[in-house]
A and B are shown apart, each in its own frame.
Chain A
Amino acid sequence: MSRPAMSRHLRVLRRAGLVAQEALEDDARARLVSLRTEPLTRLRAWVEDVEAMWADQLEAFKVHAERVHRRRRR
């Protein structure tokens, strides 16, 4: 990967809060980039909550649909 391409990739990640970047004291040209997983963990936790909500709704749907179907077949 070219250096400008690398810079662009890092900029996107930085804006998304997924990497942190700091300057090194003894080398003005160097940057230390580290991964931040916290935003991803938070998103994952949210998605799991959404999944639990839909699982809950689908259970209610199942109960209703099967009851309706039994009634119609009688």
Chain B
Amino acid sequence: MTAVRPGDQARATVLVAVPSDVAFQVFTEEIDQWWRRGLKYRVAGGNRGFIHLEPRLGGRLYESFEVKGSTKVFETGTVTVWEPPSRLAFEWRGVAFAPGERTEVEVLFVPSPNGTTVTVTHRGWASLRPDHPVRHGQDVPDFIRMTGLWWGDLMTSLREHLANRARPRS
């Protein structure tokens, strides 16, 4: 069954064979352990680093990693809904986003007879300016990679670093 929904929402669902409190806890506290690695999924790409979600309302979701011996932090957004074990939401901003441009990710944990249904809804894409990089038919891996490359003073050093050393680990 396909529900009618606004065209700027992305949604994905999975059934996990664990209780909802475990699902919520693992999703948030252990995000670095399950979040896929490599250029396709992380700003850090193949660099050493971690993703952390501060477990509270207003907490930050960020990636911290090493570039040429110094630690860089990329903040994706802050937690806007913290309702364990059923609901979580956080802002999602890429580096190429202009001030005021933001998308939002909502995660629902719904108990089911076989575990927990986890649904991610990522909304707000239509609010991005029409000439935004993500609106130019660019695919997701390219965009995520670009957010890293475009990141302020990291622009040059990270690009060189990634080009020379990092290869996606999947």
Contact = CB atoms under 8 A, between A and B. Distances in A.
B116 to A, nearest CB: 9
Interface stretch (B13-21, B79-87, B155-163): B13-21
Contacts of A63: 34
A51 B119 CA distance: 11
Which interface residue of B16, B125, B138 has the most chain A CB atoms within 10 A? B16
A21 to B, nearest CB: 17
Interface size class of A (residues with CB under 8 A): 20 to 34
Interface string A30-68: 000000000110111111111111111111111111101
Interface residues of B, number: 35
Contacts of B26: 61, 64-65, 68-69
A53 to B, nearest CB: 5
B54 interface: no
Contacts of B22: 65, 68-69, 72
Contacts of A60: 34-36
Contact of A69 (B17, B34, B134, B138): B17
Contacts of A42: 135-137
Interface string B94-124: 0000000000000000000000001010100
A28 interface: no
Contact of A40 (B7, B36, B139): B7
Interface of B: 7-18, 22-23, 26-27, 30, 33-36, 41, 118, 120, 122, 125-126, 130, 134-140
Interface of A: 16-17, 39-40, 42-66, 68-69, 72
